[in-house]
Every structure is written in structure tokens, then in C-alpha cells.
Amino acid sequence: MLSMEGTLINKNELEYSRIKDPQSQKDIKIVSAPAVISSVPPWSLAYEIGLEPGDKIIEINGNKLRDIMDFDLQFKHCDYAELLIKRADEEIIFEVEKDADDELGAEFVTPLFNGVQECANKCPFCFIENQPYEETRESLHLRDDDFRLSYLHGSYVTLTNLSFSDRKRIEELRPGPLYVSVHATEPEVRNLMLGRKKSIPIADELKWLDSLDIPVHTQIVLCPEMNDGKHLQRTIEDLYALKDHPVVSVAVVPVGLTKFHRAGLRRFTTDEAFAVVNLVEEWEQQNPQHKNFVFLSDEWFLMTHTPVPGPEYYGEYPQLEDGVGMTRLFLSEIENELARHSELQTIGHSKEHNDTVIARSTATKQSHQTKRKFSWINGTISKPIVDEVAKKINAALPNIELKPICIDSQFWGTTNVSGLLTGNDIYTALKYCPKELLGEALVIPSVMLKTTVRHPEEREARHKDLLESIEENIFLDDMSLDELAEKLGIPCIKAWGAEELIETIHG
């Protein structure tokens, strides 16, 4: 279990209470820990009063802290704050007089000062349980199930590990929206999905959140022969009965299994995937009110080679982070970017028209320009989409040649989605490829990477000479983007979304 200064959730205690009685978790106390400052921007109040990176805030006005929510509550709305700071071995008091709502402006190492609460389930489809730990990046090893991360970062929680104090806190703070993994509303099916003997029925939990006016986005991870078919139908109907009280949306996502999976589950066949798409579409067509409530993730459409729905299907894209609507949004953004580019070109051309001398010289220059070539890496499931996008880009930007390269993951074995491609997958696929075929750089979608600050001691052999922490983009197998570039001998550039993609290749 994560540990900083102070007492934390005790893993043995948690394990023991789970075995004894899941409800007895009310006895477990989540206690305070200092807020460790990671950076102090020069424009901030923190800088003005003399705080430094590495300082630990132990108390504000005599109150201890558990997380950023406590911090905001104690600091934001007061006009006087007394901060008890630990700097090296010294304890110092900083007095701050401020306007209410003035923020400290310092950044913290983590928003959860007392550590992340881990999950109390044993889902048979758990990706985290089924991976080669020595070969994957550290952030993939944590089975977090913490309502605070759900509120702060939109992570899904199951609500099966809420302690008595968690519930009291939710009632006081009313954090929302929350993101909840429902999987199934029938208690026995949900328990099967979560690998539990018992849990509080999810309908009761949702009604409790509604009584607190907390909106909830839900997800169903769908497994063949477990929670699909009539169970999916029932779950959708039960959740629809709670529409807006508190359920705002439902994402249906197919189970993702890799070659490391050991619990005997299987993936959907294409025919089964079609059946799921049909079930959801038929339910939606039953009643116009059903629109924009249940969303199929992009993978269903890609698996069945069905065109992704238009923007109206996704409404305000409430479940984008769960892979719902990313493809449509990307396609729409590409259209917008290319239209914007063509508008700029038209303006440029009419200007040139008024200046024949410049026009002639520009035309001569352009005719001598060689094409700039780039390779764009993706998973094979996205091939039809990325081929279509590259075709449009190449047609709209005549001096650019964007070549999609779609790769299956050898590392995970059975997956072909872009987000799971590892650095080694890309290296293995391209190491014998002549550089001139790859062009001047590889464009890597940011969905494959996580930005992490690595400290010198963590880097070991890598960048041994650097004493300071550096920010690195890390693939799932812990290879950094820079390492991939070094191994392949070609620049690798991360790009997020359509705008960055066009900007990267076209400047």
C-alpha cells in the first residue's frame, strides 16, 4: 500500500476485514498525511510567502489534511491561514493573510496526500491482475478504486470499498459527477463480475447518491455469457429508470483480454458484437427519450466494421475518456482543421494574386519543394479510419505525405487497439524498416503514452548523467518515447488530437 508520512490504510487490516465481512470496512480509518509541494510557480501566493518545492504542509489552521479536497476546504475560503510546514527536520509556521478565494498556487506531488484507496474486488476480467508486472510501467500496477479519483480525474469506481468515513465524507462534500462501474444491476450478476460473494445492491448505492444530488456516469464492461444478452437488457432498463436521478449516461465497453489473462474468459466474436450493437440500437429506437443515454464504445463499431455514428449520437460526449466517441470527435476535428487550413490558404492565395512578383517566386519555390514524409503509428483495429484520415490530409496538404502504419501488439498478444501498443511493439515492427520509408519522424498518438516525472534514482541506467527530475513520455511497457527514438534512429513525436497531428506534420 502506498505510504507517505503518517499512517495509511493498512493493507492487512483491509484484507482481513474483507475476508471477515465486507461491511466491517467501516472500522478502517483513512488518516491524514502531509501535502508535499512539487512546484512553486513564481506568480503564486506560495512563492510570495516563501514556500519551496519539497515543503510538506502538515496542518492548516490546526486541521490535518487527507487530500486536495481537504486542502481546498481549509485554505480556499478563509482570509487568514496558518500553515504548519515541515522543511527538512524543521517545523515552521507561515501566516497568510489573503482575500477569500485566493489560491495558494503551489502544485502537489499527488492530490491524494494519504495514498490511493485500492479496490476490494477480484474481477475475473481485471487487466491489472493479468499482466507481467516486471515488464509494465508502475502506474499500471495499482488497483485504484477511490471515489476521490473518480471526482478529480473521472476514474471509474465500484463503491464496494467505501468505509464508514468515506460515506460520511461523500455526504458532506457531495463530489460530482462520479463515474461508477455498474456492469450489471442484478446483484448476483454484478457480484460475479466483481468476483465478490456479496456487496450492497448497486441500485441502492445509486439511490443514495441521488439523495445527495450527485450526478453519476456509469459503465458496463461487457463479457460474453456473463452480463450480456438479457442481463444487458435488464441493466439498461434499470439504469434508465434512474435517468438523471442520478444516472446521466451509460457506456457499454467490450471486455479487453490479453494473452496474460488466466481467468478463462473470452472476447466477443464478430457475430456476438453485432448482437450487442443491435440490442442497444433497438432499445434506443423504442422511444425517442432513449436517445443520448446509452453509448456504445468505439470498439464495437470498429470490431464490426460498421461506420462510427455521427456527432448527434454522442451529444456532449459525456463518456469520451471511456473510448466513447473518440473516433467521431477525431474525424470531426480533422475536417475542421483541414477546412481552417484551406481557408488560410485561400487568404494567402488572394494576397499572392495582388503581388505577382511574390506569386511567381512562391510558385517557383513550391514547385521545387520535396514532400515531407511522416509515419503515423496506430493499432490495426483503427486501420480503416486512419487510412481515410491520411488520405484526406495528403489530399489537402500537397507538400505532406502521411503514411499510416498499423501494428498488432505482440506484447499483449490478442489486442489490436492503439492505446495498448507498447514501445517494444513499435520497435519490433519497424526495426528492419529502411529509414527513408519511415520519413522524417514517427507520429505517436498520445493515447499510447503517459507523462511521468522520473527522479534520478528511478532512471538508473537511463540518463544517468542528469541529476534533476525530468518529464518523460512512457509507453505501457515502461519504454520512453526518447528511448524508442534512439533505438530506431528516428525522431518520435507525440501528438494529441487532430490539431496537434496537423501541427506536427505541417508546422
Q: What gap in Å lies between CA 164 and CA 142, rounded to an integer?
A: 23
Minimum distance of ligand SF4 from residue 120's CB (angstroms): 8
The one-character DSSP state at 325 is S
- Would you list the DSSP string of 384-423? HHHHHHHHHHHHH-TTEEEEEEEE--TTTSS---GGG--H
Stretch that binds ligand SF4, among 115-123, 239-247, 251-259, 388-396 (CB under 6 A): 115-123
- Which residues touch 139 (CB under 8 Å, ≥6 apart)? 450, 452
The verdict on 184 binding ligand SF4 (CB under 6 A) reads no
The verdict on 126 binding ligand SF4 (CB under 6 A) reads yes
Q: What gap in Å lies between CA 271 and CA 279, rounded to an integer?
A: 12
Which of 76, 86, 143, 403 touches ligand SF4 (CB under 6 A)?
143
| CB-nearer residue toward ligand SF4: 70 or 146 | 146
- Which residues touch 203 (CB under 8 Å, ≥6 apart)? 185, 238, 242
Which of 121, 191, 249, 424 touches ligand SF4 (CB under 6 A)?
121
Site size for ligand SF4 (CB under 6 A): 10
| CB-nearer residue toward ligand SF4: 419 or 445 | 419
Minimum distance of ligand SF4 from residue 222's CB (angstroms): 13
Minimum distance of ligand SF4 from residue 156's CB (angstroms): 8
| CB-nearer residue toward ligand SF4: 122 or 391 | 122
| CB-nearer residue toward ligand SF4: 250 or 501 | 250
| CB-nearer residue toward ligand SF4: 2 or 126 | 126
Minimum distance of ligand SF4 from residue 226's CB (angstroms): 13
| CB-nearer residue toward ligand SF4: 87 or 141 | 141
Minimum distance of ligand SF4 from residue 323's CB (angstroms): 15
Q: What gap in Å lies between CA 325 and CA 338, rounded to an integer?
A: 20
Minimum distance of ligand SF4 from residue 253's CB (angstroms): 12
The verdict on 140 binding ligand SF4 (CB under 6 A) reads no
Single-letter residue type at 461 = A
The one-character DSSP state at 288 is G
Q: How many CB atoms lie within 10 A of CB 156?
A: 21
- For 186, 336, 343, 391, the CA distances from 340, given in Å and listed in that order, are 50, 6, 5, 17
Which of 55, 59, 67, 145 touches ligand SF4 (CB under 6 A)?
145
Minimum distance of ligand SF4 from residue 272's CB (angstroms): 21
Q: State how beta strands 294-296 and 247-254 pair.
A: parallel
Block residue for cell numbers 446521466: 248
Minimum distance of ligand SF4 from residue 314's CB (angstroms): 25
The verdict on 128 binding ligand SF4 (CB under 6 A) reads yes
| CB-nearer residue toward ligand SF4: 123 or 214 | 123
Stretch that binds ligand SF4, among 17-25, 84-92, 114-122, 447-455 (CB under 6 A): 114-122
The verdict on 200 binding ligand SF4 (CB under 6 A) reads no
| Nearest alpha-carbon partner for 238 in 279, 197, 294 | 294
Stretch that binds ligand SF4, among 30-38, 122-130, 361-369, 475-483 (CB under 6 A): 122-130
Alpha helix (H) ranges present in 217-325? 230-240, 270-285, 298-303, 311-314
| CB-nearer residue toward ligand SF4: 123 or 407 | 123
The one-character DSSP state at 305 is T
The verdict on 123 binding ligand SF4 (CB under 6 A) reads yes
Alpha helix (H) ranges present in 49-195? 68-75, 147-153, 164-173, 187-194
Burial of 480 (0-12, 13-18, 19+ CB in 10 A): buried
| CB-nearer residue toward ligand SF4: 129 or 401 | 129
Which of 158, 163, 297, 319 touches ligand SF4 (CB under 6 A)?
158
Stretch that binds ligand SF4, among 1-9, 119-127, 183-191, 237-245 (CB under 6 A): 119-127
Task: Give 424-432's long-range contacts (Cβ < 8 A, gap of 24+).
Answer: 424/475, 424/477, 424/479, 426/377, 426/475, 426/484, 426/488, 427/479, 427/484, 427/487, 427/488, 429/405, 430/375, 430/405, 430/488, 431/487, 431/488
| CB-nearer residue toward ligand SF4: 161 or 480 | 161
The verdict on 119 binding ligand SF4 (CB under 6 A) reads yes
| CB-nearer residue toward ligand SF4: 117 or 409 | 117
Q: What gap in Å lies between CA 151 and CA 398, rounded to an integer?
A: 45
Stretch that binds ligand SF4, among 125-133, 331-339, 413-421, 425-433 (CB under 6 A): 125-133
| CB-nearer residue toward ligand SF4: 143 or 487 | 143
What residue ranges bind ligand SF4 (CB under 6 A)?
119, 121-123, 126, 128-129, 143, 145, 158
